[in-house]
Amino acid sequence: MNSFDEQTINDLEFSTIREWLVNYSIGPTAEKRLMELSPTNRFEEIKNELYRVNEFLSLRSDGENFPALDYEELLTEIKYLPIKNAVLSQEGFYRISRASLIVNTILYFFDKREKDYPLLAEILKEAYYTTEIIDSIDKVFDRKGAIKDDASPTLHEIRQSIRSVKNKINKNFEKEMRRLTKENFLGETREAFVNERRVLTVMSTHKRKISGQVVGSSKTGSLTFIEPACNVELNNEYELLLDDERKEIYRILQILTSEIAHLLPLIKEYQTILTEFDFINAKTKLALELNCSLPAIQEDTTIELINAVHPILWKNNKVQGKKTFSQYLFMDKFSRMLVISGPNAGGKSITLKTIGLLQIMLQSGLLVPVDPNSKMCFFQQILTDIGDNQSIENELSTYSYRLKRMKRFLEVANRRTLLLLDEFGTGSDPELGGALAEVFFENLYNKKCFGVITTHYANIKLKADQLRNAINGCMMFDTDTLEPLYKFSLGQPGSSFTFEVAQINGIPMELIEDAKSRMDDRKVRMDKLLNELQREKTYLERLNKEHIEAQELAQKAKNEFLEKKSKLEEKLKSVQEQNEINNKFISSGKKMNSYIQRFITRSKKRDINKPLIDEMTKYITVEKSKIEEADRIEKLKIESKLPKKVTKKQKVQIERDEYERAKIILGSTVKLIATKQSGTVEEINGEMITVVFGFMRMKVEREKLMWVK
């Protein structure tokens, strides 16, 4: 049973949300569904709707180019297609063709996105891609929606005759009109159309001079409309041809109707798919406008609203350029009865209505304006007692109305009920009403239901503090500026700030002090205590906020320091590497400079510099060998990182062999792997190494050698 009564929907102004949704719809079916949208307690059904809307929101937010839903509904066509010999209108065929094109485009869109948007793709499960409908209709209609001349051979022949007769009529008419214009028999307009026939506008004084058929006259009688005699038979023929054309078009459309009639199940599916996407699209557009998201849906009764805002208040404030304060609220089975207190005009009612409206929206399949990390659950029923609902017609006072509502609440409330009671217990004598409200509160608590209650009664605040699974909350008040902060704080009751609110509204202090003196001292002390507690809590919250900001600032400074340190270390490493390179260059330069100094330029001996040149050659060869070996080792390091299909043992052996071969330089003692013959490296040229074996010199590939020393 759906237990969401109309009074709850009215109290929470859900009709405004419906109106917004209707403005986003395209077709009448989606519009009707949105206008009748109501919360439900069919949990699995509504959960599926929420996930679908969330998928569509993700699709829109990701910038996906979803096909435009510019369709017209097919209800009339679906009604007539099953009827034998029925004929659809030209507009009907256009609507079907357009629907087929859109659904084909949607099917193509989800073809490679089915895994990303499975619930949306499921809407299309009974449809399939086909151009049969479009091709059949395109054979008959052109792009402008008119019947093609070649839709049938008969129609082609008829239209040729129509054009021929029309040309003759116009030719005869133009000739006759030129002749009569020269004779000044025609009026200023010269021609007109009567019963869709082209006629001459003749001055009545000359009408007997014109051969033809009189078809009418002007209001004043000064002009007579005459159809030229040469065109009478032609016009009759023209009308007969038009009638033939209408009959042939009817026959063509009848055949076309029968051709696509067997595709009625698919056409019905087009209607279902397009109206369903229209329905979901309207919900998604509202979600985008209100910055809505899907909270985590809890199986147990838990509510955690993060940055929640009342959508109607938010939209109104946005128009007026005002700020809307978001709220945080947490309720579970250990804190299921929330009592909100605080000053008038401080936001108690709007906080209560925010909780209620968001819950109604969620259970109507709508996303809600909260942080996506929020948590919500489903209730079997949501019951409200908000505002002044006195009835003059039934002579029912506000308090009587509230008592009747309370009686019903006590009868139907259970673990899956959410009660929203605004200004709980008011409408009667404060002492008596407060006592009765306390009894109601206890009984509702014992029903194990969830409830959000706003009140000024101290005994209700005290009772919430005493009951294990009830909790107090308050709307914050700035005790320095004496202004409400419109922020909700969980965990303690709030003062009504009766005297403070009176003061900021201009009530003289002597009157306020006089009122205080007439009150029970205990009530004054309690209100003062609550006032001081809230002031201290505000102060502690400010300190905590400053502490958090200081921590964030310190962490930011630390991160900046570590980043700068890392950059400096990289720079230092780079400088050191460059210094090593420079030192090598300097060392090489000094060596070469010593060779230059030792080089003898003037001498009678021919080979005086040969020992020096040999020494230079050997030095350059060794240095070149070092560079090549360094490059080779770097290359081997890179290659060793590449994946190879070898065993661990083979890998170790390969790495050992590569390392041993990399140690071979000029002057190294090596062995031929094949013969175990030892020799000395004399020259290295890439992978080819010249080795001296006793009196024999030979070039050997590096991989065939083994380093000895």
What does the block give as tokens for 113? 């996105």
pLDDT surpassing 90 at residue 207: no
Residue 248 · residue 154 · CB < 8 Å: yes
Separation of alpha carbons 215 and 194, rounded Å: 7
Residue 494 · residue 457 · CB < 8 Å: no
Percent of the chain having pLDDT more than 90? 39
Q: 14-24 and 264-289 are packed helices; what angle lies between their axes, rounded to 10 degrees?
A: 120
Q: Please give the torsion angle defined by the CA atoms of residues 122, 125, 131 and 133, in that order, rounded to the nearest 10 degrees.
A: -110
Q: What angle do CA 77, 81, 82 make, to 5 degrees?
A: 140
| Sign of the torsion angle spanned by Cα atoms 657, 660, 662, 667 | negative
Ranking 260-264, 296-300, 329-333, 405-409 by mean pLDDT, the lowest is: 405-409
Q: How confident is the model at residue 187 (pLDDT cuts 50, 70, 90)?
A: confident
What pLDDT is stored for residue 66 in this prediction?
92
Cα→Cα distances 289→40, 52, 311, Å: 24, 18, 10
Separation of alpha carbons 131 and 139, rounded Å: 12
More confident residue, 502 or 334: 334
Q: How confident is the model at residue 198 (pLDDT cuts 50, 70, 90)?
A: confident
Cα→Cα distances 438→153, 247, 386, 423, 455, Å: 89, 82, 18, 13, 11
- Per residue in 590-641, pLDDT (tens digit) is 888 887 888 787 777 777 877 888 888 887 877 777 777 777 777 776 666 5
pLDDT surpassing 80 at residue 178: yes
What are the structural domains, with CATH classification, of the chain? Answer: 15-148+259-289 (1.10.1420), 163-240 (no CATH), 296-497 (3.40.50.300), 635-707 (2.30.30)
Q: How confident is the model at residue 184 (pLDDT cuts 50, 70, 90)?
A: confident
| Sign of the torsion angle spanned by Cα atoms 513, 516, 517, 518 | positive
CA nearest to 97, candidates 260, 318, 281, 244: 260
Residue 204 · residue 225 · CB < 8 Å: no
Cα→Cα distances 27→73, 279, 548, Å: 7, 9, 52
What does the block give as tokens for 88? 């659809």
Cα→Cα distances 8→37, 303, 360, 382, Å: 14, 19, 9, 7
pLDDT surpassing 90 at residue 292: yes
Residue 223 · residue 217 · CB < 8 Å: yes
Cα→Cα distances 112→116, 266, 338, Å: 9, 22, 48
Q: Which residue spans within 410-525 are E strands per DSSP?
A: 417-421, 450-454, 470-478, 483-490
What pLDDT is stored for residue 455 in this prediction?
84
Residue 583 · residue 589 · CB < 8 Å: no
Across 517-556, b (16+ Cβ under 10 Å) vs e yields: eeeeeeeeebbeebbeebeebbeeeeeeeeeeeeeeeeee
What integer is the mean pLDDT of 325-349? 84
Residue 325, helix vs strand vs coil:
coil
- Per residue in 10-52, pLDDT (tens digit) is 999 999 999 999 999 999 999 999 999 999 999 999 999 999 9
* Residue 476 DSSP one-character state: E
Structural Rg of the chain based on CA atoms: 47
Residue type, 682: E
Q: How confident is the model at residue 393 (pLDDT cuts 50, 70, 90)?
A: very low
Separation of alpha carbons 386 and 350, rounded Å: 11
CA nearest to 494, candidates 385, 348, 355: 348
List, in sequence order, the alpha helices (H) in 413-466: 430-446, 458-466
pLDDT surpassing 80 at residue 110: yes
Q: Please give the torsion angle defined by the CA atoms of residues 573, 578, 582 and 588, in that order, rounded to the nearest 10 degrees.
A: 90
- Per residue in 689-702, pLDDT (tens digit) is 888 877 677 788 87
What pLDDT is stored for residue 235 in this prediction?
87
pTM over 0.95: no
Other beta carbons within 10 Å of 91: 12
Ranking 208-212, 264-268, 535-539 by mean pLDDT, the lowest is: 535-539
Residue 369 · residue 308 · CB < 8 Å: yes
Separation of alpha carbons 516 and 498, rounded Å: 10
Q: Which of 452-456, 655-659, 667-671 has the highest mean pLDDT?
A: 452-456
Separation of alpha carbons 516 and 511, rounded Å: 9
In the block, which residue shows the tokens 């217990």? Answer: 425
Other beta carbons within 10 Å of 392: 6
Percent of the chain having pLDDT more than 70? 83
More confident residue, 410 or 494: 410
527-530, long-range: CB < 8 A, 24+ apart: 527/495, 527/496, 527/498, 530/492, 530/493, 530/494, 530/495
pLDDT surpassing 90 at residue 438: no
Separation of alpha carbons 471 and 134, rounded Å: 64
What pLDDT is stored for residue 390 in this prediction?
44
* Residue 496 DSSP one-character state: -
Phi, psi of 187 (to 5 degrees): -75, -175
What does the block give as tokens for 531? 């006032």
Residue 162 · residue 238 · CB < 8 Å: yes
What does the block give as tokens for 421? 């009671």
Q: How confident is the prediction for the chain on average, in pLDDT?
A: 83
pLDDT surpassing 70 at residue 569: yes
What pLDDT is stored for residue 394 in this prediction?
42
CA nearest to 224, candidates 243, 244, 207, 212: 207
Those residues whose C-beta lies under 8 Å from the C-beta of residue 204, and which sit 6 or more positions away, are 217, 221, 222, 223, 224
Q: How confident is the model at residue 649 (pLDDT cuts 50, 70, 90)?
A: low
Q: How confident is the model at residue 392 (pLDDT cuts 50, 70, 90)?
A: very low
Strand ranges of the sheet holding 296-297, from the earlier edge strand across to the other edge = 296-297, 375-376, 303-308, 327-331
List, in sequence order, the alpha helices (H) in 331-415: 348-362, 398-412
Q: CA end-to-end span of the chain, whole Å? A: 94
pLDDT surpassing 60 at residue 124: yes
- Per residue in 501-546, pLDDT (tens digit) is 566 566 777 776 666 566 555 555 555 555 556 666 666 666 777 7
What pLDDT is stored for residue 241 in this prediction?
93
Residue type, 341: S
Other beta carbons within 10 Å of 590: 10
More confident residue, 562 or 540: 562
Those residues whose C-beta lies under 8 Å from the C-beta of residue 171, and which sit 6 or more positions away, are none
Separation of alpha carbons 25 and 368, rounded Å: 19
pLDDT surpassing 90 at residue 652: no
What does the block give as tokens for 415? 């673990």
Separation of alpha carbons 440 and 458, rounded Å: 15
- Per residue in 164-177, pLDDT (tens digit) is 999 998 898 888 88
| Region label for 275, one of left (φ > 0), alpha (ψ between -120 and 50) or beta (otherwise) | alpha
